[in-house]
Structure 1
């Protein structure tokens, strides 16, 4: 009977004969995929190098104290004010869809 190596050779020849039409297309597709993979790997490497260069540049610059940006006249613990709305303690602002403005309701 046939051994394992003889069966493998017969199987390879049979696949080559039956898939002869598709082999050039498969090889072309594999080549395109390899080129894309190489290009993506180069791009990722270049991006990593750029990030590393940026980190080095930041590390070489002298450290300046970070100051929180606050508009003039505003204190850090002051409540946030949204223009166009007036909210008084104890009142609730509700919007009336039919009216052009907003209405207030007393909540006491």
Structure 2
């Protein structure tokens, strides 16, 4: 398979626009951004806990 070009990305965006409509897309992007922020903060918070478990296992 080749790389995804500009034409393919444009076709995908048009299909998304047709499926969800112009008014729903900003809401979807806001929800996606919020989800990514929560995932990053949860991953950051979990990292020290994982290192503590590793230290306990070494001892």
TM-score w.r.t. the length of structure 1 is: 0.36
TM-score w.r.t. the length of structure 2 is: 0.59
How many residues are aligned here? 50
| Greater percentage in strand | 1
Query: Unpaired segments of 5 or more residues in structure 2?
Result: 1-6
Question: Which protein has the larger Cα radius of gyration, Structure 1 or Structure 2?
Answer: 1
Equivalent residue number for residue 27 of structure 2: 25
CA 1:53–1:22 in 2, change beyond 3 Å: closer, same or farther?
same
Q: Tell me: higher relative CO, structure 1 or 2? Use CA pairs within 8 A at least 6 residues apart.
A: 2
* Root mean square deviation of aligned Cα: 2.7
* Cα distance, 1:15 vs structure 2: 4.1
Query: Unpaired segments of 5 or more residues in structure 1?
Result: 60-108
